[in-house]
Structure 1
Amino acid sequence: MADNISVSSSISNASVLSFDFNAQDIHPSCPEKIVFCIDVSEDVSITTVKSKDRGDLPLFTVWKNALTQFVFNKSMMGKHEFALMILTDKANWFCDFSSDPQLVSDALTSLENVQEKYDSFDTSSIFSAIYENCPPPSVCVGSSMSPPPFIVRVIILYGRSHCLPVYRGESEAHSELMASPHFFLDVLYSHDPPTGHNVCQSIFDILSEIYPKPKALVLDWSANLVKLYNFFAKLLAHPLQRPVQSMMDNRLISQKT
C-alpha cells in the first residue's frame, strides 16, 4: 500500500485540489453539543423551494425537515445533544439541550417564524448566548492529545437576502469562544439569486468572517432541494475529524439550479 493516500476533489472545471490525509492532524471523536441557530424572519416563509412531490415549499418548512433528519442521523453516530436558538434581530435561546431525537424533532415542529422583516441582525448575540448557556470545556495543560469531554458546535441557518449581519463590539464571550479549540461554528446561507436589488454577496462575505477558522464550514445554498440535503450530510462529519473549508467549493451561488 502506498505511504500517502490522497483523494482528489473537483472544485471546478478549471481546478482540482488534492487532499492528503497524512498531512492532517488526527483527532479522536467525542460528544458534540450542537446548537441550531434558525432564522425565523419573514424571508424564510416567503422564499420557496421546488419539490417534485409536494410542489413549492416554504424555506422554513424545508429547513425544519432537513434538521429533523440531521438530528436522527447524527444521533445514530453517538451520544450527541441538541439545542435551538432563533434569530430575529438577535439570537434568542429557544430550547435547551436534549439527546432524545424525538424531543428535538417535536421542538423543531413547534417552531414558527415571526412573519417580520428585520433591518439588521446582531451576530455578537450568538456568542453571548452560547457563552451563557453552554461554554465549551476548558483546556487542561499537558492534555492536548486527550479528547475533551465534549465540544460545542453552532450551526447557523440564515435566510435573508436584504439584511446585513452586524457585529456590535468585542465581548468576553466572543474572545473566549474564539480562543477555544473546543468551539466550532458552521453556517448555511440560503438566499435569493444575487442581483443589484439585494446584498447576498455582502451577506455571504460577512457570514464567512464570523468565525474565520480552517475547520469552519460556510455553505451557500440557493433553492436546490438535493443540494440542501447534501450540505446537511456534510455537516454530519465531526468537526475534529473533517477536512478544512479550503478543500470545498465555497463560492456564492449566482442563480437557482
Structure 2
Amino acid sequence: MDTIPRNQKEKIIFCIDLDLSMDEHFSTGEKNKYVLTIDEILDTRINRTKQLLKWFIDQKSQWNKQHEFAIMILGERAVWHMDFTTDKDLLSHVIDELYTMGKFAAFDSTSLFEEIRKNANVDDDEESAIHAIVLYTRSDVLPTLPDFEALDALYSSGRFHFDCIFIHNKAAEVSGPIKPQHVYDRLTEMEDARAPGYFYETTRILRKYTSSMGELLVNPAVRPLQDEVSFKMAPPPSVQRQLDEDALQELQQQHLSTPKRTDIPVTYKSPEFSSPSPVKKPSLFASPVQQTPLVARTPPPPGSSPFASPMRENSIPSRGHAEQQPTGLGIAPGNGAAGSGSGKGLDDAILL
C-alpha cells in the first residue's frame, strides 16, 4: 500500500457553472422582505462564489505553497479556461472577470472529464492528487450521462477525486418535468467507488454553501467517507463565552431549586430514630476467646464503706480507733477524726 505524503501536493480544478442561474440571490433570512439593500442586491451566487474561491485558494496556499489551481467554465460544454498556476494574484484577477454567459438548456458531462484528462496530465504526474470541484446551479437541466471510459481512465490512476456542490431552487419553484432531485441524482452518478466523493446540495442558504466549501479544504486522499464524518466548527470566542455563562446560570438554578436535607445532630436524636449498633460478627480466622466463670463477690463487713477496697481499710487502722475515743475529748458526734483538727485524725485525712 502506497504511503500518502503528510502534505501532499494537490492540483485543484474549479469547474464553475456560468448559467444565468448564477445571478440569483441567496436568502436574506427575512420573510416577506421586498426592499433589498445594495449589499443584498450584490449578494448573488456568482459574487459569493468568487469570494469563496479566493478564500479557498488563500487557505490552501498557506498550508502548501506548491498547490496548483486551474479554472474550467461550464456552458453547454466544459471549457478549460485557465491552466494550473500557484500565482494567487493572477487567480484572483481571473476569478473577478467571471460572469454569467446565458441560459443553457443542456450540459455535456463527458466533455468535463475529457478536458480534465487532457490538461491535468494524470498519467505523467504521479505525485499529485487531482481534485475536481464542480459548482453546478441549474435546477432543471439534467446533465448527460458521462462516458464511463473517460471516467475509468481518470479513476484508475488512483489519484483523481470528484466533488460537487449543487445550488438549486426549491422543487415548487421549478415548473418543468425535471426537478432538482433528478439533477442531484445524475451528478452522483459521476462518482466512483474507487474514490468516493463529497456531494452537497443547498437552496439559498449561504451558510451551508460556505461550510461546504470549508469541508472541501481537506485533502481528498486522506479524508474519511462523507457519511462517516461530522464536521463541526468551533464557535467564535464571544459566542463561546455566552454559552459558558448560560451553562453556569443553569447549573446555579438547579442547585438553588434542589431541596436541602437537614440532619438531626447525633446528641439530640431520639432513640426511636437511632439505629441499633451493629453486632460485630466473629471472624472465621479469629482464635476462640477463653470464657472466665463469674465468681460471687463477698459482701463488705458492716460499718465499712462499700466503695473501699480491703487494702485501703487495712492501711488506715487509726480511723477505727479515733471513732472509739470518748466524747469528752471534744470531738463532735458524727464528724470523726476529720472534724477534730488535731491528733491522728489529721494524718488520717491526709492519707485519704
- Tell me the TM-score normalised to structure 2 length: 0.57
Q: Alpha-carbon deviation of 1:246?
A: 2.1
Decide which of 61, 66, 69 is 2:47's aligned counterpart.
61
Distance in structure 2 (CA, Å) of the matches to 1:156 and 1:183: 14
Change (3 A) 1:170 1:232: closer
Q: Alpha-carbon deviation of 1:112?
A: 1.6
Distance in structure 2 (CA, Å) of the matches to 1:200 and 1:134: 30
Q: Which sits farther off after the overlay, 48-57 or 105-114?
A: 48-57
Q: Which residue of 2 aligns with 1:239?
A: 220
Q: Alpha-carbon deviation of 1:136?
A: 1.9
Change (3 A) 1:102 1:50: farther
Q: What one-letter code is carried by the residue in structure 2 that aligns with 1:40?
A: L
Change (3 A) 1:200 1:100: same
Q: What one-letter code is carried by the residue in structure 1 that aligns with 2:100?
A: N
Richer in strand (by share): 1
Matched, 1:160 2:160: no
User: Contact (CA 8 Å) 2:129, 2:221: kept in 1 or not?
Assistant: no
Report 1:207-246 matches (<5 A): 207-213=187-193, 215-246=196-227
Change (3 A) 1:55 1:154: same
Aligned-pair Cα RMSD in Å: 2.2
Report 1:15-34 matches (<5 A): 27-28=4-5, 29-34=7-12
Gaps in structure 2 of 5+ consecutive residues: 30-36, 231-352
User: Contact (CA 8 Å) 1:186, 1:218: kept in 2 or not?
Assistant: yes
Distance in structure 1 (CA, Å) of the matches to 2:121 and 2:183: 27
Q: What one-letter code is carried by the residue in structure 1 that aligns with 2:201?
A: D
SS in 1 for 2:212: helix
User: Contact (CA 8 Å) 1:178, 1:211: kept in 2 or not?
Assistant: no
User: Contact (CA 8 Å) 2:132, 2:163: kept in 1 or not?
Assistant: yes
Report 1:106-255 matches (<5 A): 106-114=93-101, 116-137=102-123, 148-167=126-145, 169-171=147-149, 173-195=150-172, 197=175, 199-213=179-193, 215-247=196-228
Change (3 A) 1:31 1:51: farther
Distance in structure 1 (CA, Å) of the matches to 2:86 and 2:215: 21
User: Contact (CA 8 Å) 1:215, 1:239: kept in 2 or not?
Assistant: no
User: Contact (CA 8 Å) 2:155, 2:192: kept in 1 or not?
Assistant: no
Distance in structure 1 (CA, Å) of the matches to 2:225 and 2:3: 13
Distance in structure 2 (CA, Å) of the matches to 1:216 and 1:135: 21
Q: Alpha-carbon deviation of 1:219?
A: 1.1
Distance in structure 2 (CA, Å) of the matches to 1:137 and 1:242: 23
User: Contact (CA 8 Å) 1:215, 1:242: kept in 2 or not?
Assistant: no
User: Contact (CA 8 Å) 1:49, 1:224: kept in 2 or not?
Assistant: yes
Distance in structure 2 (CA, Å) of the matches to 1:180 and 1:162: 33
Q: Which residue of 1 aligns with 2:74?
A: 87
Q: What one-letter code is carried by the residue in structure 2 that aligns with 1:150?
A: S
Using CA pairs below 8 Å that are at least 6 residues apart, which structure has the higher relative contact order? 1
Distance in structure 2 (CA, Å) of the matches to 1:125 and 1:106: 26
- Tell me the TM-score normalised to structure 1 length: 0.77
What is the aligned residue count? Answer: 214
Q: Which residue of 1 aligns with 2:21?
A: 43
Q: What one-letter code is carried by the residue in structure 2 that aligns with 1:39?
A: D
Q: Alpha-carbon deviation of 1:241?
A: 1.4
Aligned sequence identity (%): 29
Distance in structure 2 (CA, Å) of the matches to 1:187 and 1:109: 21
Q: Which residue of 1 aligns with 2:327?
A: none
Q: Deviations over 1:41-81 (max 9, x none)?
A: 11111x21145882142211111111111111111111200
Distance in structure 2 (CA, Å) of the matches to 1:82 and 1:183: 15
User: Contact (CA 8 Å) 1:88, 1:121: kept in 2 or not?
Assistant: yes
Distance in structure 2 (CA, Å) of the matches to 1:107 and 1:96: 11
Richer in helix (by share): 2
Q: What one-letter code is carried by the residue in structure 1 that aligns with 2:185?
A: D
Gaps in structure 1 of 5+ consecutive residues: 1-24, 140-147, 250-257
